[in-house]
Structures are given as C-alpha cells and as structure tokens.
Amino acid sequence: MIKKTVADVSTALKGVEDGMTIMLGGFGLCGIPENAISELVRLGVKDLTCISNNAGVDDFGLGLLLQKRQINKMISSYVGENEEFERQMLSGELEVELTPQGTLAEKCRAAQAGFPAFYTPAGYGTEVSMGKETREFNGKMYVLEEAFKADFSLVKAWKGDEAGNLIFKGTARNFNPSMCGAAKITVAEVEELVPAGELDPNEIHIPGIFVSRIFQGKDYEKRIEQRTVRKRN
C-alpha cells in the first residue's frame, strides 16, 4: 500500500511557487482547506491564479490571501460576501473570470477525468461565450469550454486514510471531490487521519489514486458565513 501521508501542512505544500494556478475546494466557508490557506499566507507566495467557487469573506478563507495581495486572478462563480474581493475587482487591481457555477464544476471534473474540453449550453449568447467556439447539437447551441490546468489542488475532507482515500461530510462534499486529481498535485487535509484499511470501502467518496499528499489538519474554526436565527416571541 502506497502511503500518501506527510508530516504537516508545510511539507504538503512543498513546491508551491509564485505565479502558480491553484484550485481550492469549498463553498462559501464550508469545506475550505483552512490549514492550507493559512500556509499560503505564511509562505507569502504571490501572483497566484486561484480557482474556487468564491473567495470566502474579508477576514477568513481566501479573503486572507486577498488582504495580502497574493492573488493576481480569481476564477470563480460568485463574488459572495467578500467586500475586499468586490473592491479589488471593481478597481481593476484583481483580474476576475466569472464562470457559471455548473461550468466551473465541470471544468474541474473534466480535468480530473483527463478530458481537454467539453460543450455546454450554459452562457451561450452572453459575454461568457465571447471568443469561444460554439456549435449546434440537435438544434441547440453549445459553447466549448476547456478543462482547467492547475499546478496544485487543495481540498478538505472529514476523514481520510494513509493511502489518500477520502470521505467528505455533509455539504462539505461540494467542489472538493471534483478538484481531487484535477491538478498536477492534489493535497488533502483531513480532520481525522486513520490507518489504511480502516475506512469502509463503501463509504469512500474519492479513492487515493486521485490524491498526492494527505495530512491531518488542526484548529478548524468552521465559521458560519451567514447566521440566521428566529426572533423570540
């Protein structure tokens, strides 16, 4: 059994350099690779292209990288609640490529599966399709979208084993599975790391073949992006 375990987040992110393209799993603040993001901040790498559904909030998640001006380009589907993201985008400090959410997910999955491109009806006739090949299938127009090309994919799972097999919990099973194996190197941080063979094979969401390095994370905050409560009567 090949062991994918590394000692810590610093070892896991060995090889990350300025100007790289990095995928980051999560949706809002759910299932984001908190430890890996903190390490990127510590490393001070810059001119990054980040592929993620959104950019967290001002003081958490990818918002921490935006504060330090470490991101040169964001490829995402939602500006979200991040005011600094919005400010940098509107001022022209940050290059932003807004992508339909389903297309974003499929561009990850296509890279994971080894497909160079695919056709989708999403975005046809809008700015999204400008400069892209279009084609008609069965009377409907489609846009050709290319799969992502990334250097690192950073994902977060609930539980994993030494061989890199992963289990996601609840809605944290969002963009994380489709980003596994979609880059040259996939790093998985997990809340619980167990010996190989301890996970029930029927419960594994991503097999270890898609994971390059795995480590046990720590000090997870698990913030709630928007807390909604009922008023007392």
What is the CATH classification number for the domain harbouring 58? Answer: 3.40.1080.10
- For 171, phi and psi rounded to 5 degrees? -75, -5
Whole-number pLDDT of residue 200: 97
In a domain, 103, yes or no: yes
Q: Is residue 215 helix, strand or coil?
A: strand
In a domain, 129, yes or no: no
- For 62, phi and psi rounded to 5 degrees? -65, -15
pTM above 0.75, yes or no: yes
Average pLDDT over residues 60-66: 94
The parent domain of residue 50 ranges over 9-118+149-216
In a domain, 144, yes or no: no
3-state SS track over 154-183: EEEEEEEECCCCEECCHHHCCCHHHHCCCE
In a domain, 31, yes or no: yes
**How does DSSP assign 72-138, residue by residue?**
EEEEES--TT-HHHHHHHHHTSSEEEE--HHHHHHHHHHHHHT-SEEEESTTTTSGGGTTS-EEEET
In a domain, 44, yes or no: yes
Please state the domain count of the chain. 1
In a domain, 168, yes or no: yes
The model's pLDDT over 101-129, given as tens digits with 9 standing for 90+, comes to 999 999 999 999 999 999 999 999 999 99
| Kind of pairing between the strands at 21-24 and 48-51 | parallel
In a domain, 125, yes or no: no
Reported as a pLDDT band with limits 50, 70 and 90, residue 214 is: very high
Whole-number pLDDT of residue 30: 92
